[in-house]
Amino acid sequence: EAQVTQNPRYLITVTGKKLTVTCSQNMNHEYMSWYRQDPGLGLRQIYYSMNVEVTDKGDVPEGYKVSRKEKRNFPLILESPSPNQTSLYFCASSYRGLDNSPLHFGNGTRLTVT
Amino acid sequence: AQSVTQLGSHVSVSEGALVLLRCNYSSSVPPYLFWYVQYPNQGLQLLLKYTTGATLVKGINGFEAEFKKSETSFHLTKPSAHMSDAAEYFCAVSVTGGGNKLTFGTGTQLKVEL
């Protein structure tokens, strides 16, 4: 089954404790992206990657890191999480990047930073 | 830069009634337009998309949307609401040469009542 898999689904952590949210897709998509979803703000892009070893900032990259060492994986790293990063996070992928290619989304990771 | 405005953060309809979710976009070049649906505790999934060609686009689950350039609108409709349509709906826009950026609206929560 074609899918984007994120782990974990739920995560509670404390301020400053480094964490990684994993994302993997099995569709051989070149493009991958991370979004955060907050009430009343919709989805905002954090980082995206056009292909292996190619990443770029989205609208809200502060406090986040990503890497793209393999085509299928695109982990999101929070080196020193803060409470304002409490949010619902989605990983997404598409074939050859956006423009007219629809995104395929994972089921989300709900992060709480206390 | 492109942007999307969704009018009405909450819409309530009776089962069997017409569903109309409004989306207006702003773009200096021809846009690609998408509607996504998010069911509780799930990621977003594509309902339909407009790229070029026919301005009336049909999607899954009986939904359709019409691209109206003169009104810069891409409203989502369904003739007869079903209880299973209760979800959050997001309109999104991208453009060719837009840096592979998909910009989302803030979402509309659809409630379907008996």
Judged against a pLDDT cut of 90, whether residue B97 lies above it is answered with no
Mutate: best of A44, A55, A103, A110, partner B, most B CBs <10 A: A103
Residue contact B107–A42, C-beta within 8 A: yes
Mean pLDDT of B85-112: 88
Interface of A with B in 60-89 (CB under 8 A): none
Judging contacts by C-beta atoms under 8 Å, the chain A residues touching residue B45 are 105
Strand pairing report for A10-13 and A109-113:
parallel
Mean per-residue pLDDT for A64-90? Answer: 97
Confidence of residue B57 (pLDDT cuts 50, 70, 90): very high
What number of other Cβ atoms are within 10 A of residue B8's Cβ? Answer: 12
CA distance B46 to chain A (A): 7
Percentage of residues in chain A having pLDDT higher than 90: 84
The distance from CA A104 to its chain's CA centroid, rounded to whole angstroms, is 12
A97 touches chain B (CB under 8 A): yes
